[in-house]
Amino acid sequence: MFGFSIQKLIVLAAIIAAVWYGFKFIGRLDKARKHAAKLTRDGARAAAGAAPAAETEDMERCEACDAYVSARDPASCGRADCPYPG
Ligand SMILES: [Zn+2]
């Protein structure tokens, strides 16, 4: 009456298995993606920690040429009246 045949049960089992392994596969991809994102974040943080001077730097204005030079390591603009060593 309901027609439960062995073929239908096998197909049903195959569908359930496909969904089950599909979710496992998606979960594994998501875990790999999160791991990669964490590595990228850690790498960016390590790079920032290694060279903080590259992120921001105080500048000061040259009186002679109005150019902004690094306050930590000022360099001359090349003009004779530039107050910075060059
Ligand atoms: Zn200058």
Determine the Cα–Cα distance for residues 22 and 15; give it in Å rounded to an integer: 10
Report how far ligand 1's centroid is from the alpha carbon of 57 (Å): 18
Q: Does 67 reside within a domain?
A: yes
Residue 32 binned pLDDT confidence (cut-offs 50, 70, 90): very high
Residues 33, 65, single domain; the answer is no
Q: Which helix (H) or strand (E) holds 24?
A: helix 6-50
Report how far ligand 1's centroid is from the alpha carbon of 78 (Å): 7
Give me the residues paired with residue 68 across strands.
61
Asked whether residue 86 carries a pLDDT value surpassing 90, the answer given is no
Percent share of the chain, pLDDT over 70: 90
Q: Which structural domain, as residue segments, surrounds residue 71? A: 56-86
Report how far ligand 1's centroid is from the alpha carbon of 59 (Å): 13
Residues 12, 40, single domain; the answer is yes
Determine the Cα–Cα distance for residues 33 and 39; give it in Å rounded to an integer: 10
pLDDT in tens, 56-76: 888 989 888 888 888 888 888
Report how far ligand 1's centroid is from the alpha carbon of 49 (Å): 31
Q: Does 1 reside within a domain?
A: no
Residue 51 binned pLDDT confidence (cut-offs 50, 70, 90): low
Q: Does 33 reside within a domain?
A: yes
Residue tagged 């001359």 (tokens): 76
> pTM of the full predicted structure?
0.38
Identity of the residue numbered 17: A
Residues 20, 36, single domain; the answer is yes
Residues 46, 23, single domain; the answer is yes
For the record, the structure tokens of 77 come out as: 């603009």
